[in-house]
Structure 1
Amino acid sequence: MKKKTIVIVDDHLLFAQSLESLISKLEEYEVLAILKNGKELTQYYLHKRKTPDLILLDVKMPVMDGVQTMQWLKENRPDQKVLALTMEDDEETIIRMLRAGAKGYLLKDIHPENFEFAMKMVIEQGFYYSGKIETALRNSEEAGGSKNLQEKLTDKERVFLKYACSELTYRSIAAEMGLSPKTIENYRETVFKKLEVKTRVGLVIYCMKNKLFKIE
């Protein structure tokens, strides 16, 4: 059986080694390399080493962090599949990672079974998302997909949705739409409820998966 290959990019050596140990126990996978930051990853490619099936990429690193690395990959290796790794559920940073091309994100305290599932989903399906988002996606497909979804949203909600998938803060979105922050809060709660997602990150992944509009 041909194993799926992984490269780990994380400056916390103990965590990276623990991750490698966990992956080595999974028959379907093998780790090609452990790298400390994005700069080392660019060197990895420049030396024409084997392209992995998946990169597990830390978000906060010295020298070249996760966002900078994703931007480099987007320009130089756009087909490379990447899962973002993070200690904190930092919405702004995770959204930047997703917009740059990451196919999902993992909190570092994820259960090993969920970790294996996440790798499998990205390699085979192209995205990893939580159970809540998966349920919402399935409901959308059963209801007729993104066309049906867009019919459920008002014009203002669709405008909000597009802005919510950008890097703008909610306060900035309010300014762009000429509305009060309180009104934007109401739009957020309504859209979250309609799409059955709980967070802004979930909203971004939902829109990417359903291709509601191009995210760059």
Structure 2
Amino acid sequence: MPTSIAITDDHHLMAEALADLINKLDDYEVLYIAENGRDLLEQLARGPLPDIALVDLHMPEMDGFETALQLRKLYPTIRVLALSMNDREEYVVRMLRNGARGYLLKGCRPAEFRLALDAISTKGYYYSDFLASQLINNLNASDTEGSTSMFALNGREQEFVKLACSELTYTEIADQMCVSPRTVDGYREVVFQKMGVKTRVGMVIEAFRNGLVEL
């Protein structure tokens, strides 16, 4: 059964071009094309739910930020992929806070677009190099009591997460924590398991989204 997609973009030419591209891909089909978030919600109320919603940021009546937030509240099974011409860090951050599973620039190549769809379809998220660079370089430590409790991280694991949300290598993290690289490897494996991630980028995104670290 193909993965179903809803496109939300007030630029009709862009929306139609995306629909044409998607419908030519194996295992994907377009269910809806909406002009804005309100239009999308009205269509969702009348028909089946798509697996993925491609959401533009700047739209009349209901923009992408509010659309992502409403989809997270009303239809949490729909995975939102933000599409934008704008790479401003605050836009990326706000969309992730509102529930987006990825952020893709409209200037990307078709191969990356397909990669993003495949990743969100199979893994539930798409964390590109662009997205990682927007977040990792700007993350700082903050009060993390609530989220660390949720993930059941102990004090040293919390410290590891904070240091890992930076440009430090694992060897440099070991030096900062005054432990061996093998010990840091152990922290990494435990944290990955507790947070349900498989990569450092995934850990950073989850740490950010759950308030372990903040901009």
TM-score (norm 2): 0.66
- Cα deviations by residue, 1:108-148 (Å, 9 ceiling, x for unpaired): 011101100101111110110114749xx9xxxxxxxx887
Matched, 1:43 2:42: yes
- Cα deviations by residue, 1:17-44 (Å, 9 ceiling, x for unpaired): 1111111111111111110000001101
Taking structure 1 as reference, are residues 195 and 108 closer, same or farther at Cα in structure 2, changes over 3 Å only?
farther
- The CA RMSD over aligned residues, in Å, is 3.1
- Cα deviations by residue, 1:37-93 (Å, 9 ceiling, x for unpaired): 00001101221x111110000011111000111121122112210100010102112
Matched, 1:208 2:182: no
User: After the TM superposition, which residues 62-211 of structure 1 pair with which residues of structure 2 at under 5 Å, given as runs?
Assistant: 62-131=60-129, 133=132, 150-152=158-160, 158=162, 192-194=166-168, 206-209=203-206, 211=207
Superposed displacement of residue 150, structure 1: 3.9
Aligned residue in 2 for 1:18: 17
Aligned residue in 2 for 1:170: none
- Cα deviations by residue, 1:135-172 (Å, 9 ceiling, x for unpaired): xx9xxxxxxxx88774446xxxx4xx9xxxxxxxxxxx
Taking structure 1 as reference, are residues 206 and 60 closer, same or farther at Cα in structure 2, changes over 3 Å only?
farther
Letter of the 1:193 partner, please give it.
Answer: E
Aligned residue in 2 for 1:5: 4
Identity %: 38
| Number of aligned residue pairs | 163
Q: Secondary structure of 1:194's partner?
A: coil
Taking structure 1 as reference, are residues 39 and 67 closer, same or farther at Cα in structure 2, changes over 3 Å only?
same
Kindly indicate whether the alpha-carbon contact (under 8 Å) linking 2:53 and 2:81 is maintained by their aligned counterparts in 1: yes
Aligned residue in 2 for 1:180: none
Structure 2's unaligned 5+ residue stretches are 137-152, 171-199
Q: Secondary structure of 2:54's partner?
A: strand
Q: Secondary structure of 1:129's partner?
A: coil
Kindly indicate whether the alpha-carbon contact (under 8 Å) linking 1:10 and 1:58 is maintained by their aligned counterparts in 2: yes
Kindly indicate whether the alpha-carbon contact (under 8 Å) linking 1:95 and 1:204 is maintained by their aligned counterparts in 2: no
Structure 1's unaligned 5+ residue stretches are 138-145, 162-189, 197-202
Kindly indicate whether the alpha-carbon contact (under 8 Å) linking 1:83 and 1:106 is maintained by their aligned counterparts in 2: yes
For residues 101 and 30 of structure 1, the distance between their equivalents in structure 2, rounded to whole angstroms, comes to 23
Kindly indicate whether the alpha-carbon contact (under 8 Å) linking 1:74 and 1:100 is maintained by their aligned counterparts in 2: yes
TM-score (norm 1): 0.66
Kindly indicate whether the alpha-carbon contact (under 8 Å) linking 1:86 and 1:106 is maintained by their aligned counterparts in 2: yes
